[in-house]
A and B are shown apart, each in its own frame.
Chain A
Amino acid sequence: MLRGAVGICGFLLLWECAVQLGAVSAQQLCPPSQVAAAFFTKLADPRPDGATLGAHFIASSSVALGGFLLACLIGLPLGLAMGYYQPVYLLANPIFELLRPIPPIAWIPIVTLLLGIGAQARIFIIFLSAVVPCVINAYTGIRHVPERYIHVGQSLGMSRWRIFTKICIPCALPTLFVGVRLSLNTAWTALVAAEMMASVRGLGYMIQMGRLLIQPDIIITGMLTIGSTGALMSALLSLIEKRLTKWGAER
């Protein structure tokens, strides 16, 4: 933990020195001091793009979390069902495989046509990216349940549904969690692409405006905010996962 902090400080120091000493031209990379100044200014100042950092952050988070939650709500049950019921798999898989490899940016025109240009369109684009790990991991989780567990359930006379809910799903939980974590990462990554669509708020929009107005300190502030939030969210999810699996194991 301490070493990590040292590492990051060392990295920032190296960066600062590189620019101040002229190894890297200030035109090409602004030093951390400038980025920090921009960060603190942006916390309160809506210039130059019309909103404070907090407002951008809230706009981005709500869209990303919305897409993520939708992905979990739809993707996890779908994946579980696909893993357990063959007809569901045969029906859903072709469409899933067709739509899965298409990158989020490519969806923008079609989603604009179908859902307009409001937040719901951006949430949907994020959903399209975030649902993939949910489905895949849920499916894989069920497929990897050892046969013998199922046979035990069958020999105990449990119905298919009870086998599914009492045996398969708990067994699949670890893989499910990995999927949920991946899904959150993917949702956050798809954010910048989604915000290329008619936004007036959001970290991705802030970066776009930074490009337009040639303010690299704002661009880097935006990038690092995205980076640290992503890292924090991952860490948080890992923590929740550990708690839940511990609780589950105790049961």
Chain B
Amino acid sequence: MNHTQLLHRTTAFFLAVLSLTAALTGCSGKTSDVGQLNVALQTTAQGVPAYIAEVEGIDAQAGLTVSSTVFASGPAQNEALGANEWDVATMGAPPAIMANLAYDARILALVLMEASTEFFVRPGSEIAQVSGAVPGYPQILGDADTWRGKTVLCPVATTSHFILLTLLEMLGLTEADINIINMDVGQAYTAFKAGQGDVVTLWDPVSFSAEDEGWVRAAYGPDIPAYTPCVLVASQKAIDEKPEQVKAWLKTYFDVVGQLSGDSAYFAGHAYDLLNDNNVTITQEESLLFIQRKKFFTLEEAAALFQGESGSTQADQYLNAIADFFVGQGHISQEDREELLADSIFYPMFLEELAGEAG
């Protein structure tokens, strides 16, 4: 056996190892059964109706075989989308924008306004000593002078960041006037508790523990006119290949939401399960608070957001505000924003059909 033969044999062996790995890889993709829908959720309120639809058998009754995965964050969902791991998802608007720009994912509906972001300071902070600086918003503490130069722990490129910037505008400041440290909410909580930073940005359910720590709420999402919808997203592939399943899933989602107006406790019970099963610790009381703070849109309300001239519907306005935020941050380009504006991000057809059928 000469030199070349040895090389060939060893290369063949190496290829065999590679094929073994490829075989393992082949097992990883989700089976694309026509009756099956792969759903991506997070441990957030907008995921709860989808979760209920699955565990209470409502999806099954509608003929859907649903397989959900719970992700830690929007970016994690988007990465999985890149690998075609899900068909539909519940997420916030910022990751939905990214998913559309990168993978042509489409927003099926806006389902609730995310407003649970809260900004906390320590009781001794100078921000806590000043109130009423923003006319018409008495709950916002601090003013331009006390906020200037502060270190704020906040996850960047998220709805919280967007809300923070709106708050700064209301105080007469810009992002350059403060020092933002990019931290995940969980880590930020620990760091703030350990004495880092002057202001911490939290959302629920992490924010529920903040008052126990003695921290003072400097500002609260619902008080700030920054509108950050949570959305239902479908991949372009799912819309093309499984339109009936996507529409059916959308229907079961809104059917469950229709039940919320009567029974927060029912929802809270499922929220408790969804969060605790996915390593977000929350008590029964907290899960009730978690749900009660959220205002889900009914089917009619959700459909109404798309009424009007294309490009200037309510849904367009909400998305444009967030897109402008991203352009301002430099995260997306102006051309990308134009693309979003041209309505390619929304796919309200299923929603409108459902509203028509119900009404």
A interface residues with partner B (beta carbon < 8 Å):
27-28, 46-50, 108-109, 112-113, 116-117, 197-200, 205, 209, 211-215
Contact = CB atoms under 8 A, between A and B. Distances in A.
Contacts of A198: 153, 181-183, 187, 191
Contacts of B333: 47
A50 B330 contact: yes
Contacts of A116: 191, 194-196
A212 B75 contact: yes
Interface string B88-117: 000000000011011100000000000000
A200 B331 contact: no
Given A47-B333, A117-B196, A215-B102, 12 more contacts: A48-B329, A50-B330, A108-B187, A116-B194, A116-B195, A117-B191, A198-B191, A212-B157, A214-B79, A214-B82, A214-B99, A214-B102
Contact of A214 (B78, B180, B329): B78
Contacts of A108: 187
B190 interface: yes
Contacts of A46: 330
Contacts of A205: 182
B332 interface: yes
Interface SS of chain A: loop
A46 B194 CA distance: 32
List 6 A-B pairs, minimum CB-CB distance, nearest first.
A47-B330, A214-B102, A48-B331, A212-B75, A113-B194, A214-B98
Nearest to A45: B330
A189 B194 CA distance: 28
Contact of B157 (A112, A197, A199, A213): A213
A199 B79 contact: no
B194 A112 contact: yes
Contacts of B331: 47-49, 213
Nearest to B83: A28
A47 B334 CA distance: 12
Nearest to A197: B187
B22 to A, nearest CB: 13
B333 to A, nearest CB: 8
26 contacts: A27-B82, A28-B83, A47-B330, A47-B331, A48-B331, A49-B330, A49-B331, A50-B329, A108-B187, A112-B190, A112-B196, A113-B190, A113-B194, A117-B197, A198-B153, A198-B181, A198-B183, A200-B181, A211-B75, A211-B79, A212-B75, A212-B98, A213-B98, A214-B79, A214-B98, A214-B103
Contacts of A112: 187, 190-191, 194, 196
A67 to B, nearest CB: 20
A116 B332 CA distance: 32
A214 B187 contact: no
Contacts of B190: 109, 112-113
Given A28-B82, A112-B190, A113-B194, A213 B332 contact: yes
Nearest to B179: A200
Given A28-B82, A117-B191, A48 B181 contact: no
A211 B183 CA distance: 15
Nearest to B104: A27
B182 A199 contact: yes
A123 B46 CA distance: 40
B99 to A, nearest CB: 7
Interface string B327-353: 001111100000000000000000000
B183 A117 contact: yes
Interface in B39-88: 75, 78-79, 82-83
A197 B188 CA distance: 10
Contacts of B99: 214
Interface in B145-171: 153, 157
Contacts of B78: 214
Contacts of A215: 102
Interface string B115-157: 0000000000000000000000000000000000000010001
A149 B343 CA distance: 81
Contacts of A49: 330-331
Contacts of B98: 212-214
Nearest to A108: B187
A50 B181 CA distance: 13
Contacts of A27: 82, 103
A44 B331 CA distance: 15
Nearest to A117: B196
A128 B183 CA distance: 22
A224 B14 CA distance: 25
Contacts of B182: 198-200, 205
